[in-house]
Structures are given as structure tokens and as C-alpha cells.
Amino acid sequence: MIESIFNRITEEYCEISPETINDWSEKIKIVEYKKKHLLAKEGTYSRKFYFIVKGAIKAYYMLDGKNVTDWFAFENDFIPSTTNHIIGQKSTHYIELLEDSILIELDADHLEYLCKKHHDFEHLYRLVLSKTIHQLRERIASLQFRTVQQRYTSLIDLHPKIESRVPLGDIASFLGITQETLSRIRASR
């Protein structure tokens, strides 16, 4: 079980030495939570870092009393929204499970420890951040000047199953539009 997870990570990012893997695997905890469980709450300190083995999450924050969904993550993703808390600040976001999920949990202190102790771990983490940057860039390009149709289409291309796994309202929010508009776009295809 654990090995196959480390394999997934190594394949996706880079090789990791056995020592690092050992040290790492001592620090992690495999956790299971039900749909709607909150991994983080706005205004609280939740210094945890997650990798999704199975399941899906959304990250959102409140704006004028409404939820704004910021980020989705699925199997084999790290949850980068948590990186904020890692610098020791209160969370600006809620992170909610969209499905019953299995996660690997790593304490922020342990993350720092592993980075400091093992160069290859810090390298891996650097690659994870690079990937996140790439995704954020794509997202900005999408929000900045594409029409709503184009935004929706490219989201579906990227995550074909998102429609069945994520409520329409959250997808609309992520795209920066109302759910009525998204519903109409969907209908017109």
C-alpha cells in the first residue's frame, strides 16, 4: 500500500533515496475521512500537508457571505492550498472533502524537517511547487481573457470526470461565474 503510493510520487516527480523514503514514511499518517469533512477551516491553524490517495477536495474561502471555490484536487495530487498555513499563518481557506477520501497526512513541522534533512526531499517539494505554479498560470490565463465557454471547455478537457464528481455551483465559482450561467452554457452544447 504505502510502497505503491511512494512509487506513484516518484514516477510523477523524481527519484527519492531509500533513506529519505524511510524517514518520510515514519512521519506520515494515512487517514480516511468522509465526504464533507473539513481538512482546514478559515481562521484556524491547521499545519498539515496532504497527498490524496483516493478522493477529491475543494478549497474555498468566503467573500461577501458567498463561497468562492479556488482549487480542486484529486487522486495523486498534493493539496497546495495548505501551503499557506505551513508558513504558520491562519488558514484563509476551508478545505472540504467532496468524496469519502484516503489521504496521506504530514505535519508542517515534519515537512520542514524532511526538507532540511534530505536534499532530495526538498528537491521533490520544489518540483511539486513548480507544478503548482504551472497550474496556477494556466488558471490565470483562463480567467484573464478567455470566454466562459472556453474556460469551461478547457476545465473539462483537464478533468473529464469533474462534472460527475463536483457540484455545478462549485465549478461555476471556480470558473468565476454564476451557476445559472454555467447551467446555460452546458445546455447550449
Residues that bind a copy of itself (CB under 8 A): 61, 63, 68, 70, 80, 83-84, 87, 115-116, 119, 122-123, 125-126, 129-130, 132-134, 136-137, 139-141, 143-145, 176
Reduce the DSSP state of residue 153 to 3 states and report it. helix
Residue 1 binding partner per list a copy of itself, DNA, none, with a CB distance cut-off of 5 to 8 Å that depends on partner kind: none
Least distance CB 91 / a copy of itself (angstroms): 13
**4 vs 147, which CB is nearer to DNA?**
147
In the region spanning residues 137 to 176, those forming contacts with DNA, defined by CB under 7 A, are: 147-149, 167-169, 176
* Least gap, CB of 77 to a copy of itself (angstroms): 15
Number of neighbours of residue 35 by Cβ within 10 angstroms: 12
> How many residues of this chain interact with DNA, rule: CB under 7 A?
17
Using DSSP bridges, classify how beta strands 94-97 and 38-40 pair: parallel, antiparallel or unpaired.
antiparallel
E strands within 66-141? 66-73, 94-97, 101-107
Q: Name the helix (H) or strand (E) containing 32.
A: strand 29-33
Going by C-alpha positions, the residue among 73, 38, 80 that lies closest to residue 58 is 73
Q: Binding to DNA by residue 76, rule CB under 7 A?
A: no
Closest contact distance (angstroms) between CB of 177 and DNA is: 4
Q: Which is nearer to a copy of itself, 31 or 176 (CB)?
A: 176
Under 8 Å between Cβ of 162 and 171: yes
Q: Backbone dihedral region of 64: left (phi > 0), alpha (psi from -120 to 50 degrees) or beta?
A: left
Q: Which does 68 bind (CB under 5 to 8 A by kind): a copy of itself, DNA, none?
A: a copy of itself
User: For 100, phi and psi rounded to 5 degrees?
Assistant: -60, 130
161 binds, among a copy of itself, DNA, none (CB under 5 to 8 A by kind): none
- Give the footprint of DNA on this chain (CB under 7 A): 147-149, 167-169, 176-184, 186-187
